[in-house]
Structure 1
Amino acid sequence: MNVASGFASTPDGVRLYYEEAGHVVGQPRTPVIFVHEFGGDHRSWEPQMRYFARRHRVITYAARGYAPSDVPTDLDAYTQENAADDIAAVLDHLGIDRAHVVGLSMGGFATVHFGLRHAGRALSLTVAGAGYGAEKQYEDYFRGVSRDVADQFEKQGADVFAKTYSLGASRVQYQNKDPRGWQEFATQLGEHDAIGAANTMRGVQARRPSLYDLEDDLRVMSVPTLVVVGDEDDHCLQPGIFLKKTLPACGLSVFPKTGHTLNLEEPAAFNAQLAEFFAQVEAGAWTVRDPRALPSQIMKTS
């Protein structure tokens, strides 16, 4: 079984560091690519890389702005469109036509946009913990907080500001359940490039469109999709329900007593949910919603 790492290049010349496992020459395995959140990096998917490499070809990569990937200094290099297209660039480099795409938070938004921009290349989409800034009543507030977070990364440095950022309202659940795992997450966050973090916040997070503004496009995007949300990740709950009601072939899973860092906080449940989802998709059993199950069909009387 091959374990490898390297760099893929994007059309605008940014090098993206990736790692892969589970690739066996002469034995085709279904590819899965994992797209990390703002507070994480390629290392954040280790529980999934180890588990799914047993049966799949798995890839994780560091987004632009996250070393050892390139850290562009130009803010315009950081956009939601580039974040989605970077997934395709990694797949292109590895000669992969289609893959299951799994994203958390910022990576979940990139996964949604990958589905909109490259639907033919997605076997499925898993959108986990995605929703911050999507709720229209909090949109302006989120943009302002995102710019403030960017300022703090620059002023304090990642090693200092990580101590604050890692203790957000939807992170403490992880700390309470698994202090060792949370400490590893916080330590790795403190190792991020401060300029890359600030530019990601300003260029991607603060400028991305609300999911609700994408409704017309989402309604015709029929890629099999799984949305996963923690029930204490408050600002992702309603956007998760919105995606469930809007995407034609979407399922929604809510993890109890769980915050934002889903895949690390509840790795066994997350892996089991993904494995079942992949199996159904590959069997052709994850289809668009049966029209008999639409909300308008409350109760049959004849």
Structure 2
Amino acid sequence: MPYLTTDDGVALHYEDVGEGTPMVFVHEFAGDHRSWEPQLRFFSRRYRCIAFDARGYLPSDVPPTPASYSQDRATDDIAAIIKGLNLAPAHVVGLSMGAFATLHLGLRHAPLARSLVAAGVGYGAAPGKREQFQAEVEITAGKIRDQGMDKMADIYGRGPTRLQYERKDPRGFAEFIAQLAEHSTLGSTNTMLGVQRVRPALGDLEAGFAAMKVPTLIIAGDEDDPTLEPALFLKRTIASAALLVMPHCGHTMNLEDPDAFNRAVLDFVTMVDAGRWPLRDPSTQAGGILGGGQK
């Protein structure tokens, strides 16, 4: 298995397949590198694809304390993969927790990114939801620590934004739950407490997003309620962003509807590579309703 070691000594496992322009995939809390299999099979036909396991996710290292986990560290781990494998600038595709880190990469390490895809991003970031999210993270992390990820997988994996996947693809969903049950209890607990509980709200980063120019695609499932308002915020704030809302989709849209997800991402990166991805015209945000000529 190939590994890359970060500057704080954590070994990150990665999969590397295909040739061409590099594309890095960053998984969600309930996923790992295997969650990107439908994307690796599709994009590796024309891109060099790298999917890695975040710290805390076997076979990557599992640091023993939450202090070794943070939003900045999760972002820097993407940067470590890109720099260590000489991939810059790379297309970076993130889901949920991985999408938060992907957006932070655009804020803190923009030269490393050719483009950003942030899918299912925004849990706890909607107005008035931060304290509720932090409280739920505390409770869930405690249950994972006390009961073990092998027992909690079936409970966590059947949250209200996951049921769409089970309805569409029962076999795929069963595989998702089985893989989640294999996750490290310690790593999952530390990730919740060190990354998710204390990450900044997206609204707190508004000035940085307003200045960001990396081509960005925001993807939300229309039945993934916690991400809809944050997705609109990101679209309105990032001048280089487009927003795609996938119908009848929950949180795991890359697995629920892989063909639609892959085609949307392919269209996006093709436009970026052709130099045809635009910044939004500020006049489209003038605030009028009916158009010109109004007094």
Q: TM-score interval w.r.t. the shorter chain?
A: over 0.9
Cα deviation digits, residues 23-55 of structure 1 (max 9, x gap): 3xxxxx110000000000010000000100000
Give the CA RMSD over aligned residues.
1.0
**Structure 2 Cα separation of the partners of residues 141 and 97 of structure 1:** 38
Cα distance in 1, alignment partners of residues 154 and 39 from structure 2: 25
- Aligned twin of 2:224: 233
After superposition, give the CA deviation of every residue in 1:152-179 in whole Å (9 maximum; x if it has no partner): 1111111100010010000000000000
Q: Where does residue 119 of structure 2 map in the other structure?
A: 128
Question: Secondary structure, in 3 states, of the residue corresponding to 2:265?
Answer: helix
Show the counterpart of 1:106.
97
| CA drift at 1:94 | 1.1
Contact 1:136 1:210 in 2 (8 A): no
In structure 2, distance between residues paired with 1:112 and 1:263? 18
- Distance in 2 between residues matched to 1:174 and 1:32, nearest whole Å: 25
The equivalent residue for 2:17 is: 21
CA distance in 2, matches of 1:131, 1:295: 26
Which of 27, 30, 36 is equivalent to 1:39?
Answer: 30
Q: Does 1:283 align with 2:274?
A: yes
Secondary structure of 2:166's partner? helix
3-state SS in 1 of match to 2:269: helix
Residue by residue over 1:35-85, the C-alpha shift from the partner in whole angstroms, topping out at 9 and shown as x without a partner, is: 000000010000000100000000000000000000000211100000001
Does residue 156 of the first structure (1) align with residue 147 of the second (2)?
A: yes
Greater displacement, 190-199 / 141-150: 141-150
Structure 1 vs Structure 2: percent identity of aligned residues? 51
CA gap 1:273/1:195 in 2 versus in 1, 3 angstroms: same
- TM-score, with length taken from structure 2: 0.97
What's the counterpart of residue 301 of structure 1?
293
Q: Gapped runs of 5+ residues in structure 1? A: 24-28
Provide structure 2 residue ranges, at least 5 long, that are not aligned to the other structure.
Answer: none
CA offset digits 1:119-154 (Å, max 9, x no partner): 111100000000101123110010011111111111
The amino acid of 1:187's aligned partner reads A
Q: CA deviation at 1:297?
A: 4.8
Q: 1:26 is matched with which residue?
A: none
Q: Is 2:82–2:112's contact at 8 Å kept on the other side of the alignment? A: no
Equivalences for residues 1-302 of structure 1 within 5 A: 5-23=1-19, 29-298=20-289, 299-301=291-293
Letter in 2 for 1:12: D
Q: Deviations over 1:187-223 (max 9, x none)?
A: 0000000000000000000000000110011100111
Q: Matched residues in 1 for 2:176 and 2:279: separation?
A: 36
| Structure 2 residue matching 1:155: 3-state secondary structure | helix
The aligned amino acid for 2:14 is Y
Aligned partner letter, 1:22: G
Q: Secondary structure at the match of 1:252?
A: strand
User: Could you tell me which amino acid in structure 2 is paired with residue 300 of structure 1?
Assistant: G
